[in-house]
Amino acid sequence: MSIDTENSECLFCGAGFEAQIVETHRTVAAVPDAAPVSPGHMLIVTLRHTEDVFSMTPDELADAMEMIGILKRRALNLDPSITGFNIGANCGVSAGQQVMHAHIHFIPRRGDEPLKGVIRNKMAY
């Protein structure tokens, strides 16, 4: 299955996005975040264009959770310094969502490393 290219104005549906895909799992794909807040920061993106996590189907949500497990196992095998993970989604402009295509952030953490700003332009919260 490939990314929905019907919405050519969407960053995740546009031409060239498929080349960034690291892994696919049924209805979702994993790609590196373009502005990572930590080494190994990935995005789990729906192959179908839909606005946010709340509009994902039950199958897409289940596949995303399985992808999180796949990425976790891979990350821990590659980097034993990882001690935790941040998993999350920004839904809506006011929550910091910049690409209006459903995606979940997968952010490996190491020790006490500070986490760079996760929601750009919302750092005063």
Q: How confident is the model at residue 1 (pLDDT cuts 50, 70, 90)?
A: very low
The pLDDT, as a whole number, for residue 56 is: 98
Burial of 54 (0-12, 13-18, 19+ CB in 10 A): exposed
DSSP 8: T
What the chain holds in terms of domains, given with CATH numbers, is: 17-109 (3.30.428.10)
Most confident range (mean pLDDT) of 11-15, 96-100, 116-120 is: 96-100
Burial of 50 (0-12, 13-18, 19+ CB in 10 A): middle
Q: Which two tokens stand for residue 109?
A: 């953490």
50 Cβ neighbours under 8 A, 6+ residues apart:
56, 60, 101, 102
pLDDT tens digit sequence for 36-75: 999 999 999 999 999 999 999 999 999 999 999 999 999 9
